[in-house]
Amino acid sequence: MNQTLETNPTLTSNPQMTPADFEPLVKTRQADLIVRPSLSFWQDTWQRLKRNRRAIYSLYLIIGLLSFSYLLPLFVSFDIAEQDLTQISQPPGLGRQSLVVDTKPWAGRFVEEGERRQLQTAPFDSRAKVAGLEVVGEANTESVRLSWQPLAGAIGYRVYRHLLVPSGPADLGLPLGQTDQPGQISFEDRLKLQNISYYYSVQAVSYDGQLSDYSTVEVKPRHAISLRAALSRGLVDANDAEAMLGQEVELKRHLMGTDYLGRDLMARLVYGGQTSLFIGIVAPLLFVAIGILYGGVSGYLGGRIDEVMMRFADFVIALPFLLFMILFRVAMGIGPGESGVTPMLIAMVLLGWPTAAKLVRGQVLQLREQPFVEAAQLMGANTHYLIWRHMLPNVMGVVLVSLTFSIPSAIFTEAFLSFIGMGVAPPTPSWGAMCNDGVKSFMSHPHELLFPALFISLTVLAFNLLGDGLRDALDAKMKG
């Protein structure tokens, strides 16, 4: 002991030592430090999903579409049945000025009695044209007044209207009528017109039915509203009604335009979204839930029971959807032209679950052979614990991906059935039914088809991109 003290100068020079000097030295390595908190499976999935910009933007778009259809009516009042016959098939706009006009019938113009007799006795030239065809006053959508010079030998005149420049006598357009009074050289078109260009043509008719060459004039009516309609809509004051003739008033705004019946397109898109999204989301939720239960039981029990259950699922897959859709409509007493939302939902749920069931069954069969499941069984875990603790959490990833891909498929199915008249029927709106209405007037009024088709496309694209993002986020092989 003395020898040790003599050979260690540190111990002999510092006799005041404490027990703390004899504590073991702990060296912490950088690799042993926890650089980030541990995350659960779903927290890690959410972090990975947020790094996928396309999936996040799609999620925001889905939230926006749901808000447009379900939250916007809570703050803005819409009436899907209100018709504005002064604004039929109007394009989108922030506002529209309309001229207030009097809709009293026009007396017209006539040839003097003496001149009329002279003209009628003159020879008729079928190669001659009606001269002086012009618009009287200002043409508007309530009334277009035409007049022309009389043609020798003519006893009447035929008036036509076309949307395009006539290419010949056989292509003058819609026949509006023929003058029915002697010496009449005028015509008033009082049919509901639109604020677009029209081509009016006039032909003279002789005693023996011969037709002269035609004359054409281009007319673009100004948008107008009758005084009576302006009073009923509250656009003008009843005490100052006469003074408003010839003045402009502000019509109701239609941000997305109107349809062929003068109904606000935005209002119908909002409530049509409620119908389409309800069918597109509720139906997949129901048949995916059935698929989880059916496929989980089949895969967990296995053996002969699994074989019988899967053969029944194959049988259901082979059933024709459209045929059963028609059978359900007939069984429920739904006739042609009536809305078939309920049979559509029933057909989707009863015939759509086998796909989800097969996916879940395949996952459960794989999980049964995993080491962590066998270890839980050896430790005495019961069936309830295995299903809720191990099976279901590991299956939910595949289920969510399947659900996100089933929703756009269901929305497209509803749109297709409504388009062919087997789904939602008027006046109940849906995006598919609106496409069916809009395709009839696509060439002249494309907005009636483009808007509902755009909403369907955005919804289907958003759910597909979100499904891709979820598939990548839930894939264990891609986790770094």
What CATH number is attached to the domain comprising 143? Answer: 2.60.40.10
pLDDT, tens digit (0-9, with 9 covering 90-100), for 83-140: 877 778 888 877 778 888 888 888 889 988 888 888 877 888 888 999 999 999 889 9
Query: Please, which pLDDT band fits residue 11 given cuts at 50, 70 and 90?
Result: very low
pLDDT of residue 342: 83
Q: What is the pTM of this model?
A: 0.73
Tell me what the mean pLDDT of segment 311-338 comes to. Answer: 83
Query: Please, which pLDDT band fits residue 4 given cuts at 50, 70 and 90?
Result: very low
Query: Please, which pLDDT band fits residue 329 given cuts at 50, 70 and 90?
Result: confident
Separation CA 91–CA 377 (nearest Å): 67
Q: Are strands 144-147 and 215-219 parallel, antiparallel or unpaired?
A: unpaired
Q: Are 159 and 65 in the same domain?
A: no
Q: Are 341 and 435 in the same domain?
A: yes
pLDDT, tens digit (0-9, with 9 covering 90-100), for 142-176: 899 999 999 988 889 999 999 999 999 999 999 99
In this structure, how many other beta carbons lie within 10 angstroms of the beta carbon of residue 379? 8
Query: Please, which pLDDT band fits residue 388 given cuts at 50, 70 and 90?
Result: confident
State the DSSP string of 48-88.
HHHT-HHHHHHHHHHHHHHIIIIIHHHHS---SS-B-TTST
Separation CA 193–CA 110 (nearest Å): 25
Is 19 inside a domain boundary?
no
Q: Are 76 and 124 in the same domain?
A: no
Q: Which of 226, 250, 282 is a domain's end point?
A: 226
Is 253 inside a domain boundary?
no
Tell me what the mean pLDDT of segment 422-442 comes to. Answer: 83
Cβ-contact 456, 412 below 8 angstroms: yes
- Lowest mean pLDDT of 32-36, 52-56, 301-305, name the range: 32-36
Tell me what the mean pLDDT of segment 449-469 comes to. Answer: 90
Q: Are 287 and 204 in the same domain?
A: no
For the chain, the average pLDDT equals 83
In this structure, how many other beta carbons lie within 10 angstroms of the beta carbon of residue 253? 12
Report the percentage of the chain scoring pLDDT > 70: 90
Separation CA 432–CA 452 (nearest Å): 7
- Torsion angle of alpha carbons 339, 344, 346, 350, nearest 10°? 170
Is 200 inside a domain boundary?
yes
Please state the three-class secondary structure of 375-433 as a single string. Answer: HHHHCCCCHHHHHHHHHHHHHHHHHHHHHHHHHHHHHHHHHHHHHCCCCCCCCCCCHHH
Tell me what the mean pLDDT of segment 296-314 comes to. Answer: 88
> Does residue 306 surpass a pLDDT of 70?
yes
Q: Which of 226, 243, 269 is a domain's end point?
A: 226
First to last CA, the chain: 59
pLDDT, tens digit (0-9, with 9 covering 90-100), for 341-370: 888 888 888 888 898 889 888 888 888 777
Tell me what the mean pLDDT of segment 271-288 comes to. Answer: 89
Which residue in 311, 330, 344, 353 sits closest to 411, CA to CA?
Answer: 344
> Does residue 261 surpass a pLDDT of 80?
yes
In this structure, how many other beta carbons lie within 10 angstroms of the beta carbon of residue 326? 16
Is 40 inside a domain boundary?
no
- Higher-confidence residue of 479 and 382: namely 382
Q: Per the structure block, which two tokens stand in for 347?
A: 């057909």
Q: Are 436 and 299 in the same domain?
A: yes
Q: Are 300 and 152 in the same domain?
A: no
Burial of 91-114, coded b for 16+ CB within 10 Å and e otherwise, reads eeeeebebbbbeeeeeebbbbeee
pLDDT of residue 31: 53
Q: Are 378 and 447 in the same domain?
A: yes
Q: Are strands 156-162 and 97-101 parallel, antiparallel or unpaired?
A: unpaired
pLDDT of residue 81: 82
Q: Are 364 and 460 in the same domain?
A: yes
Q: Are 195 and 281 in the same domain?
A: no
Q: Are 344 and 390 in the same domain?
A: yes
pLDDT of residue 5: 44
Cβ-contact 56, 477 below 8 angstroms: no
Q: Are 308 and 399 in the same domain?
A: yes
pLDDT of residue 1: 46
Is 12 inside a domain boundary?
no
Domain containing 63 equals 57-80+260-478
Helical pair 265-301 and 447-474, crossing angle rounded to 10 deg: 30
Q: How many domains does the chain have?
A: 2
> Does residue 389 surpass a pLDDT of 80?
no
Query: Please, which pLDDT band fits residue 65 given cuts at 50, 70 and 90?
Result: very high
Is 29 inside a domain boundary?
no
pLDDT, tens digit (0-9, with 9 covering 90-100), for 391-413: 777 787 788 888 888 888 888 88
Report the percentage of the chain scoring pLDDT > 90: 23
> Does residue 454 surpass a pLDDT of 90?
yes
Q: Which helix (H) or strand (E) holds 328?
A: helix 321-331
Q: Where are the beta strands (DSSP E) in 171-232?
A: 174-178, 186-189, 198-205, 215-219, 224-226
Q: Per the structure block, which two tokens stand in for 282?
A: 């509720």
Query: Please, which pLDDT band fits residue 2 given cuts at 50, 70 and 90?
Result: very low
Is 137 inside a domain boundary?
yes
Helical pair 41-50 and 447-474, crossing angle rounded to 10 deg: 130
pLDDT, tens digit (0-9, with 9 covering 90-100), for 177-219: 998 788 899 999 988 788 889 999 999 998 888 899 999 999 9
Q: Are 76 and 115 in the same domain?
A: no
pLDDT of residue 15: 57
pLDDT of residue 34: 54
> Does residue 466 surpass a pLDDT of 80?
yes
Q: Per the structure block, which two tokens stand in for 278?
A: 């309800």
